[in-house]
Structure 1
Amino acid sequence: MTHLLVVGSLTLRPRSVPWVPAANLRPMATIRAELARGPWEAAQSLGGAVLLLAPLGVLLPLIAGRLRVSPVASMARTVVAGALVSSLIVLLQTGVPGRVPDVDTVLLNTTGVALAHLLVVPGTRSRLRRREETPQGRTPTITRVGMAPRADALSGSRTYF
């Protein structure tokens, strides 16, 4: 919840800029324009969009708290939820002065959620499953005490084999 509050304060704060570009509704247009500017500038602007919602790729599966779940289903749920959160942010930005909706931010944010999920969640779940399944160890034995002789419970006599 705190992460979403920080994201909301970063993305929904009004900007005071003299010029605002038009909304981008063509997929990959902004990404191509950023890549044309150069690798360093592209890495900074596109990397920020990828990293913005990436923690949701780890935090959303933690909400359910399940260790035994299909990796594909978990990935699909997380990516869809990340795409919905990103789309909601873009829709809310339409009413904020100085903010322009861009379909590429939805793509980049969703990519960040998917990458974070792939890099962290499967390994963490398998590690937690292994830790849950490991036995506690051998039952302790006392070496000084030998085996007691077998006895017939009804007669009270001892039988030795």
Structure 2
Amino acid sequence: MQRQGSMGGGSSSRIRATGAVLLVAHLAFVGWLTLRPLDVPWVAPANLHPLAGIRADLALGWPQAAWRIGESTALLAPLGVLLPAVGGRLYVSPLASLLRTIAAGTLISLGIELLQTGVPGQVTDVDSLLLNTAGVLLAHVAIVPAARASLRRRAARPPLRPGVEGGALPQDEAAQGRTPTIPRVGVAP
């Protein structure tokens, strides 16, 4: 039985499977990157004041600030696309999809920040939580609505199959084949 609002056919399962594999791979990479112990001589205290770290980054100057803010924004941005792909819903409210994706991205980012408290050399930063969530939001808004609209258009038109006379028949007619013709037989005496 197919869920309400999910994509139909084999393309749905391919998209969901590919999304799941990419999601697991991305989360494994993020976990390795953010939860590995660092051998550093000095560790800054945890930043629990919202926007304080962003202001400090901006005080460093343009290239360094753009790099550090962009790094935190891009870290979890792929989740904005991968989470809806794993969900596999084609007909869904854009606002509901956005809110679900932001909530999941925020919880994943919060989990990473909480796990970092026990890792040597890693520091908890509330601004990382804000920037990671902003990255998920931006990626979702930039890609998911257009991708869903494209998939809905592709699902709405029937794919064409080559016909007998070199033309094209809709898929359902091609699956049934042509209607056989019977030659006329005269009436017996």
TM-score by length of 2: 0.72
Q: Distance in 1 between the 2:84 and 2:109 partners?
A: 17
SS in 2 for 1:66: coil
State which of 12, 17, 24 in structure 1 corresponds to 2:47: 24
Letter in 2 for 1:103: V
Structure 2 match to 1:12: 35
Aligned equivalent of 1:80: 103
1:64 is matched by which residue type in structure 2? G
Q: Does 1:116 align with 2:139?
A: yes
Match of 1:129 in 2: 152
Selected match of 1:94 from 104, 117, 135: 117
Q: Distance in 1 between matches of 2:159 and 2:60?
A: 58
Distance 2:70 2:91 in 1: 32
Deviation at 1:80, TM superposition (A): 0.5
1:107 aligns with 2:130: yes
Are residues 1:40 and 2:63 paired?
yes
Amino acid across the alignment from 1:18: P
- Offset from partner CA, 1:105-156 (integer Å, 9 cap, x none): 000000000000001100000000001111446xx797xxxxxxxxxxxxx9
One-letter amino acid of the counterpart of residue 57, structure 1: G
Q: Tell which structure's C-alpha radius of gyration is larger.
A: 1
**Structure 1: any 5+ residue segments left out of the alignment?**
143-155, 157-161
Distance 1:136 1:6, change over 3 A: closer
Considering only aligned residues, what root-mean-square deviation do their CA atoms show, in Å?
1.8
The percent identity for this pair of structures is: 57
Deviations 1:8-45 (A, max 9, x none): 00000111111111110000000001011111101111
- AA in 1 matched with 2:111: L
CA distance in 2: counterparts of 1:21 and 1:141, whole angstroms: 74
Runs of 4+ residues over 6 Å off in structure 1: none
Residue 95 of structure 1 aligns to a residue whose secondary structure is coil
* C-alpha separation in 2, matches of 1:98 and 1:13: 9
The runs of 5 or more residues in structure 2 that have no matched partner are 1-23, 166-186
What's the secondary structure of 1:101's corresponding residue? coil
Alignment length (residue pairs)? 143
TM normalised by structure 1 equals 0.84
Distance 1:111 1:99 in 2: 21
